[in-house]
Structure 1
Amino acid sequence: MRKNSIKNTRINGEVQKVLSEIIRGEIKDPRISPLTSVVSVSVAPDLKTCKAFISVLGNEEAQANTMAGLKSAVGYVRRQLAKELNLRNTPEITFVLDQSIEYGVNMSKMIDDVVSKDGASEEKDGE
């Protein structure tokens, strides 16, 4: 069991790396935002399916357009993946929008706003 999980982790990493390269450099769809990244990949142990978690920095329209572009290019992406990786099966890819990076950026901004307001109120109190 343990050996399989190590192998699966390695496959996930390889698929993530190759998917990132394909999305960044090979797909020419204008709908796909240049600020798109593959956050993580989860390949099933039987190599039949793959979930690719995609992060798009931008507004909701940019995210929707990028996801539509990726869905339409899924056949091309799968063929390129098959060329790059020597796997027994090339998995069916499902793209999933991952908003964790955007969530983190927004939280960080909110924290910075609170800290700067707090610092401004302390200056007034100290005068």
Structure 2
Amino acid sequence: MENMRTNRVAEQMKKEVGEILNQKIKDPRVGFVTVTDVELTNDLQHATVFISVLGDEEKKQETLIGLSKASGFIRSEVGKRIRLRKTPEIVFQFDEAHEYGNRIDSILRKLNKE
């Protein structure tokens, strides 16, 4: 029962954080970010938001710094949109699996051209 609620809140957070990043964040360091997943602890106190960023390593690091600076704002926006007793602490992390998949995809495309 608890797990279903956690999953539902995580899905809702994924959608809301994606919208907030696209519409509300004006920090020039934050590039084109896609929210790929949200993992919540069962007590809903901590959320790890997995992101994928277009650009090189430097651009990715800048984006992560920008998101860390904006995490308080993002958290309060999420709090306004989702009714929870306590809005989870938000930590941003790169989605390595997504990156890995993209790398494999581009290798396969190159092989097909050859």
TM-score scaled to structure 1, two decimals?
0.84
Runs ≥4 residues deviating over 3 A: none
Q: Flag structure 1 segments of 5+ consecutive residues without an equivalent.
A: 118-127
In the aligned structure 1, how far is the partner of 2:49 from the partner of 2:87? Answer: 14
Cα offset, 1:115, TM superposition: 2.4
Residue 75, structure 1, aligned to residue 76, structure 2: no
- Cross-structure match for 1:14: 12
SS in structure 2 at match of 1:73: helix
Cα offset, 1:109, TM superposition: 1.7
Aligned residues: 114
Q: Flag structure 2 segments of 5+ consecutive residues without an equivalent.
A: none
Please give the root-mean-square deviation of Cα atoms over the aligned residues, in Å: 1.1
One of 28, 34, 37 as aligned partner of 1:37: 34
- Cross-structure match for 1:121: none
Q: Which amino acid letter does the alignment assign opposite residue 22 of structure 1?
A: I
Q: Which amino acid letter does the alignment assign opposite residue 39 of structure 1?
A: T
Cα offset, 1:23, TM superposition: 0.7
Q: Which amino acid letter does the alignment assign opposite residue 8 of structure 1?
A: T
Residue 28, structure 1, aligned to residue 14, structure 2: no
Cα offset, 1:53, TM superposition: 0.5
Which has the greater radius of gyration?
1
Q: Which amino acid letter does the alignment assign opposite residue 83 of structure 1?
A: K
- Cross-structure match for 1:5: 3
In the aligned structure 2, how far is the partner of 1:44 from the partner of 1:32? Answer: 26
